[in-house]
Amino acid sequence: MALFIKGYTQVIPRFNPDTLQTIQLDSTVNITAERLSAETFIRAVTTDTSFYQAFRNMKKYAFTAENSIYTYDKKNKVNGKLYRKIKRNARAPWITYLSKQDTGHVFKKNGKYELYTAEMFDYIFMNAYQSAYTSGSAMGKAADKNAGYKDKLKTLIFSPGRPVKGLPFIGDKTEIFTANMRQYYDYTFYSATYMDSIPVYRFKVVVKPDLSQWTKDGLMIKELTTIFDKRNFEILGRYVDMKYSNMLFDFNVQMNIEMQYFGEEKLPAKISYQGNWNVPLKKPERASVLVLQRDYHSGR
């Protein structure tokens, strides 16, 4: 995910479908403007609703989407790939497949996904592609046996820093901005340029390097980086690195989400994901996902 710092190295060493470069730091010197502080950015991160709203608003438009899902073996070699290029229409019928192909270990014999990761991304994106915009929740509530976990995933993606209720042993570990948790993190913010032209701030929250390994292991969110448009202080991008292990499960996930403007409206442009999961009664999952959405327009 070479997205927020030129030369960034992946946390999970494997094939990386995301090779786009969208942000470049202006310098390595912290901003010293008196009106800005870590508290300014923390308040913006924890109160923002525009990031999730952008995913709701995309359903107003026609656009082209490319979805790539890769699965891996124990040696991080690709053993499955699903690629879809979709034309999303502004009205029903909502989608037209321009290309669709899969190879290797993607689907079971009954047609269901081999991996829960792929199912989750379909729940978030394919469901959104195939429904109309409403003033309520764009992605709705999941109705299957995994409903609770799918809705919790949305909280992790769209509201990092808030508690995720109902996840054993980790529900409060996402609250990295509480008074108790702040002692474990460093906060930095820089001036940068996004998409070659948009002036932005990059606010980075990262685990302090001098903590004991035992303390580091107990912190689920290793890094949370947020990109703010300087002109209106809305969030244009988010990168989160999460890693945790206990007696029930372990996971190592990095996710990046970036927006673009269509006129004055902010809309999703790129979502990339790398993740390893290991939970009881399920085989370990290793996957990466790249979602690109472009060519937004109002008509069919």
The residue type found at 69 is I
The model's pTM is 0.84
CA–CA separation, 159 vs 152, rounded Å?
A: 10
**Among residues 204, 186, 187, which one has the least CA distance to residue 5?**
204
DSSP letters, 7-65, are T---SS-S--S-----EEES-SSPP--TT--HHHHHHHHHH--HHHHHHHHGGGSEEEE
pLDDT at position 235: 92
DSSP letters, 160-190, are TTS--TTSTTTTTTT-TTSTTGGGGEEEEEE
Parts of the chain with a pLDDT under 70: 1-21, 23, 25-34, 136-157, 159-172, 300
What is the rounded average pLDDT for all residues in the chain? 81
Assigned token pair, 262: 């269509």
pLDDT at position 167: 58
The residue type found at 99 is S
**Among residues 145, 131, 140, 158, which one has the least CA distance to residue 257?**
158
Per-residue b or e along 82-109, where b marks 16 or more CB atoms closer than 10 Å to that residue's CB? bbbbbbbbbeeebeeeeeeeeeeebeee
Using the 8-state DSSP alphabet, how is residue 288 labeled? E
pLDDT at position 4: 42
219 sits in which H/E element: none
Can you say how many angstroms the Cα of residue 54 is from the centroid of all Cα atoms in its chain? 13
Assigned token pair, 216: 């580091």
Q: Is 143 helix (H, G, I), strand (E, B) or coil?
A: coil
**Among residues 170, 150, 160, which one has the least CA distance to residue 244?**
170
User: What digits encode the pLDDT tens for the residues 188-227?
Assistant: 988 888 888 899 999 999 999 999 999 999 898 999 999 9
CA–CA separation, 228 vs 200, rounded Å?
A: 5
Pairing mode, strands 198-207 and 221-229: antiparallel
pLDDT at position 67: 93
Assigned token pair, 121: 């991304």
Radius of gyration of the chain (CA): 19
